[in-house]
Amino acid sequence: MKSNVGGIDRILRIVLGLVLIGLAASGTIGLWGWIGVVPLATGAIGWCPPYALFGWNTCAMKNKT
């Protein structure tokens, strides 16, 4: 798998995932909060299946010299 999730995107996914999981664990938003596992996982591994499907990439371009 080639990484397709860039730095800021990864950080936002991880933070959002942790917030949702925390809210679900505390009972604030119910079971739907456990969906935070998805952005947490995609942020942690740096690869997002829908991005791959649609050909999107938020990684910085590296110069090939």
DSSP 15-63: HHHHHHHHHHHTTSS-GGGGGGHHHHHHHHHT--HHHHHHT---SPPPP
What's residue 63's pLDDT?
52
Residue-number span of the structural domain to which 38 is assigned: 32-57
Among 44, 39, 19, 15, which Cα is nearest to 29's? 19
- Structural domain tally of the chain? 1
Helices 37-45 + 7-25 axis angle, to 10: 150
> For residue 45, is it within any domain?
yes
> For residue 65, is it within any domain?
no
What's residue 60's pLDDT?
84
What's residue 39's pLDDT?
97
- pTM of the complete model: 0.86
Per-residue pLDDT of the chain (65 residues; tens, 9 = 90+): 889 999 999 999 999 999 999 999 999 999 999 999 999 999 999 999 999 999 999 988 765 55
> For residue 22, is it within any domain?
no
> For residue 13, is it within any domain?
no
> For residue 46, is it within any domain?
yes
Among 10, 14, 20, 5, which Cα is nearest to 58's? 5
